[in-house]
Each structure stands twice: as C-alpha cells, then as structure tokens.
C-alpha cells in the first residue's frame, strides 16, 4: 500500500531550493541522508510530484527503475512551484531503559535530566525524586548534514557551527516539558562541541586537539546547571567516559575490553590498574553507510541472517518487506556466507550478489567495506594489547556497549573477526551504558570517582601507529 502524499504550497523564496531543504525547514521526517545532501549516496529517495526541476542523467542512473515510479532524490530535486511528497513516519531507535535510578544523593536536585547525544540517536531520561519517570529517544536532527561526525565537522567549518548548536539544543528543549534543576549530558567529543557552541575545527585535523575536554557546567534553556561529561581525546568522548563508569571498569579485576562500535570504534582496555583507550576509524558500514542497501535498524531492515538447511534465511525489523540491511544483518550475512563457503578468507564472493528478498542484496563492494570496518576495530584492539604488553587471549571479558551491541550476534562478530580471532573470554552486551552513566552521575555526582578513573586512562593515537597499520592489513582477512 502506498504511503500518504502531502501537499506543499510554494512560497516566496522557495524557488531553487531542494526538497530536502524545504522538508528540513518544516521539521518533517526524512529518508536517510548519510552523505549530508551532497548527492553522492543515492539514499534520500522519496515519491514526489509537482513543479520540480528535471532529473539529471546522474540522478536517473542512481534511481534506476524507481525513477519511472515517481521517485526522486530530494537533495537533487529543486522546487519550481507547489508539489506533493510522500509522508514518512519518523522512526525511533531503541534505547536501554530497563535500569533503575536509585536514590539521589545530591541535595536540592529533585528534577534531573540525563541525555546521551549519539551521532544517530539522542536518548533522554527524566528523573524526579530519584525515579526515572520518562524515557524517550529521537533521531539526531544534525543527521541532515551527514551520517558521520566528519561530515558534520566539515559543515561546521563551513559556517554551520551555530546551526548545529541550535538544532541539537532545540531538539532537547522540545523534549522537555519544564526547566530542570540539574542535567548531565554526554556524547562524543564533536557532539559535545556542537551542543556547547565550542569551536570543533581542531578535532578534524592533526594533531586532533579539541577546544576543550569539558568536565564542567554550561547553561541552556532546558537547564541552567548542565554538566557536560569529560572527554578523553578528540575521538574518545564523554559518552565513553560515563560508559566506562557505568560498567565499573575502574573496579573491574579482570582484563576487560570495552567497545562502542560505530563510525568511530571507541575501544578501552582495562589491564591491571591502567585503562588504555583508542578510536578506530571504522567508517559508517556498521550503521548502514557505504553499503548499497545499507540502512539503520528501522522498519524493513534485514537485522538477522541465519543458516537454514543448506541455505540461509533472514528476519527484518517489524517483520516487514526487506527495505535494506542494517549493521547487525550485515555482520550476520558475512558470517553465514563464510560458514556456507560462499565467501573465502579474502572476502571474495562466489557470485556477484546475495539477495534478501527480490530487491535487497549485498555485493562484493559491500563486503570490502565491511572488511575495512572490522579490520580497523580488530586492529585497534590488537594495538591496545601491544601497548599494554598483553595478548588478545589474555582478555577475559568483552563489553560491547550501545544499542549496536544489543543487536549484533556475538557469534557472528567472532566469526568475521570483529573481535580478534584468538579471543576466548566472555562477551557482554549491557546496552546503553552511556545513558546509564549519565543517569547515575546525575543522581550521585561522584566527581572524585570520575576523575580518579580518568587519571588511570591513557590515549593511544592510531593514525601513523606502525603496529596498527600492520595489524590492519592482517585483520582484513577472514578465517574459516
């Protein structure tokens, strides 16, 4: 069944704008725009009709047969008059909410707010008298400028810093029905810079020096006393700091690996009294970026692939018709293809495409992008082990944090080498540890413990690290 069409009456100043710009100004739900509206990914597809600019040959080549069905790329289609567009239902990613708040130890702070600003999803927790009374999540409005951090840093450097600040501040304010007494907000280092209006330009270029590492309070409309979680480095942010706190990494006696896997795979290794951190530039494959039919884990995404008889079957989010494949599905698919010997140890596929339904497939290029992503993460782990003077086999426990961790099949992750092959310990996926850490810190504000943890943390820069480059090449391979 086709989705409902909405009518937009052209106004003064609209002529020449893209449909994407118009819909952003209206606050409408959007298709995915991982390239930030640059016209390179071909994913901002929407059925439209009306007074629009003709499609270029390049746009038609990206759309294929969908062009004949009235589909356009809304970053390319320009407004020439009134038009109709397909209504999209906004999706909300799942967040970890099944933890109790406990009692607050901070006086005169009955009304508390905890926020985890993810690159894709923002998680909000509202607390009153020690109890979480509301939890919600929404898509980060900054995603219109690109699915990854680097795209947004480029946008900020081009004059969009204030816009990025306003977008996230207004989104958090809109989710709040009142002003709170105290708030704790965490995110990666760039997200915290965008929120606070700090200059993020140093994050994107050598020697990767942020304007600030935070660990101090700012004032916003939704809360005049907002603590921004301290970061470790340019690519290890306050979300990792509070996540490690929630995981009690500072109290852990086992050699433990903490991983938050996304575009930047943030990794921490607890060995003895020390915690070593790094950030592996995995790219957006785990979040559906640079994958031909890649998408986030929303309705219709292939999220699970498994062997059935001599072949494979799959499940989709919401049991809907397959619309694409998300990170967990991609990892499963690669593991299954290895198991069925439809892909060899170099990543070469036996045939050009493997289908999930009639239209969705993964290709050789998709596998190469996955290989690059998993190699970066695994090489990051091995580099930290090298710095800690231990072996991967010495790791006793792995914690995979974030929503991604709760969705991936750990056996598949081990099968493809996302976690290095010689790991033999236990794997835990506790969910949104950053959100849990923000809630816990809002309630207890144990700054001494937080800063004691940070004093034990050392950061390893992977770019230019000789061992990382060596390990990266080795980890590109799969093993049977």
Which residues make beta-bridge pairs with 184?
A: 114, 227
**How is the chain split among helix, strand and coil, in percent rounded to 5?**
35, 25, 40
How many C-beta atoms surround the C-beta of residue 117 within 10 A? 27
Pair 213, 238: CB distance under 8 Å: no
Side-chain-side CA neighbours of residue 113 (13 Å): 27
Tokens of 153: 């840093």
Q: State which residues of the chain have pLDDT below 50.
A: 1, 92-93, 97-98, 100-107
Q: What are the residues facing 114 on neighbouring strands?
A: 125, 184
Structure confidence at residue 107 (pLDDT) = 47
Give me the pLDDT at residue 108, please.
Answer: 52
* pLDDT tens-digit map of 107-162: 456 799 999 999 888 999 999 988 999 999 988 999 889 878 989 999 999 999 99
Token look-up 């907000």 returns 185
pLDDT for position 419: 84
How far is Cα 290 from Cα 239, in angstroms, rounded to an integer? 25
CA distance 440 to 46: 42
Please, is 326 exposed, middle or buried when counting C-beta atoms within 10 Å of its C-beta (0-12, 13-18, 19+)? Answer: buried
The residues spanned by each domain of the chain are 5-86, 111-238
| Distance from C-alpha of 279 to C-alpha of 463, rounded to nearest angstrom | 10
Q: Are 161 and 200 in contact, with CB atoms under 8 Å apart? A: yes
Contacts of residue 257, defined as CB under 8 A and 6 or more positions apart, other chains included, come to 267, 268, 269, 270, 381, 384, 395, 397, 398, 399, 419
Res 103: pLDDT: 46
Beta strand extents in 74-181 (DSSP E only):
79-86, 111-117, 121-128, 131-139
Quick check: pTM over 0.95? no
Number of Cβ within 10 Å of residue 107's Cβ equals: 6
Q: Do 111-238 and 5-86 have the same topology in CATH?
A: no
pLDDT of residue 89: 64
What is the pLDDT at residue 104? 44
Give the architecture-level CATH label for domain 5-86: Roll (3.10)
What was the pLDDT predicted at 288?
84
Residue-level pLDDT at 90: 56
Q: Which residues of 141-173 are buried (b: 16+ CB within 10 A; e: fewer)?
A: bbbbbbbbbbbbbbbbeeebbeebbebbbebbe
pLDDT in tens, 208-222: 999 999 999 999 999
> What token pair was written down for 472?
């990266």
Which CATH code fits 111-238? Answer: 3.30.420.480
Q: Which pLDDT tens digit goes with each residue over 62-99?
A: 888 889 989 999 999 999 999 999 877 655 445 554 45
**Which helix or strand (DSSP H or E) is residue 381 part of?**
helix 364-387
User: Residue 339 — φ and ψ, nearest 5°?
Assistant: -60, -40
CB 275 within 8 A of CB 249: yes
| DSSP-derived 3-state class of residue 273 | coil
| Per-residue pLDDT, 283 | 80
Residue 412 CA to residue 331 CA, distance in Å, equals 6
Compute CA distances 477 → 225, 227, 368, whole Å: 49, 43, 10
């Amino acid at each position: 069944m086709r989705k409902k069409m909405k009518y937009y009456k052209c106004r003064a100043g609209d002529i020449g704008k893209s449909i994407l710009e118009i819909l952003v100004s209206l606050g409408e739900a959007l298709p995915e725009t991982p390239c930030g509206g640059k016209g390179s990914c071909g994913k901002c597809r929407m059925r439209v009709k009306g007074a629009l600019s003709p499609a270029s040959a390049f746009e038609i080549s990206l759309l294929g047969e969908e062009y004949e069905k009235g589909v356009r790329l809304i970053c390319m289609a320009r407004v020439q008059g009134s038009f109709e567009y397909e209504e999209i239902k906004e999706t909300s990613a799942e967040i970890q909410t099944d933890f109790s708040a406990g009692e607050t130890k901070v006086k005169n702070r009955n009304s508390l707010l905890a926020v985890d600003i993810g690159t894709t999803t923002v998680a909000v927790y509202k607390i009153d008298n020690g109890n979480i009374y509301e939890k919600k999540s929404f898509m980060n409005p900054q995603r219109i400028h690109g699915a990854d951090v680097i795209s947004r840093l480029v946008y900020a450097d081009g004059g969009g810093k204030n816009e990025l600040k306003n977008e996230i501040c207004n989104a958090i304010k809109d989710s709040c029905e009142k002003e709170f007494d105290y708030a704790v907000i965490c995110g990666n280092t760039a997200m915290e810079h965008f929120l606070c209006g700090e200059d993020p330009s140093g994050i994107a270029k050598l020697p990767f020096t942020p304007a600030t590492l935070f660990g101090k309070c700012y004032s916003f409309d939704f809360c005049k006393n907002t603590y921004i979680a301290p970061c470790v480095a340019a690519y290890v942010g306050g979300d990792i700091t509070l996540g490690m706190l929630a995981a009690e990494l500072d109290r852990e006696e086992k050699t433990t690996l903490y991983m938050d896997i996304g575009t930047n795979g943030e990794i921490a290794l607890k060995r003895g009294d020390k915690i070593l951190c790094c950030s592996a530039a995995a790219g957006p494959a785990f979040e559906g970026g640079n994958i031909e039919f890649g998408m986030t884990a929303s309705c219709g995404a292939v999220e699970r692939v498994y062997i059935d008889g001599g072949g494979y079957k799959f499940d989709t989010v919401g049991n809907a018709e397959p619309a694409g494949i998300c990170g967990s599905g991609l990892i499963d698919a690669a593991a299954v293809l290895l198991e069925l010997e439809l892909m060899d140890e170099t990543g070469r596929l036996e045939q050009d495409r493997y289908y999930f339904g009639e239209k969705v497939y993964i290709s050789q290029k998709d596998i190469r992008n996955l290989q690059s992503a998993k190699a970066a993460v695994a090489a990051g782990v091995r580099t930290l082990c090298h710095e800690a003077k231990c072996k991967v086999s010495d790791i006793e426990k792995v914690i995979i944090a974030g929503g991604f961790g709760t969705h991936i099949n750990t056996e598949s992750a081990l099968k493809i080498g996302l976690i290095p092959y010689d790991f033999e310990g236990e794997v835990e996926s506790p969910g949104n540890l950053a959100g849990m850490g923000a809630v816990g810190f809002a309630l207890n504000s144990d700054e001494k413990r937080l800063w004691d943890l940070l004093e034990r943390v050392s950061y390893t820069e992977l770019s230019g690290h000789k061992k990382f480059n060596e390990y990266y090449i080795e980890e590109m391979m799969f093993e049977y």
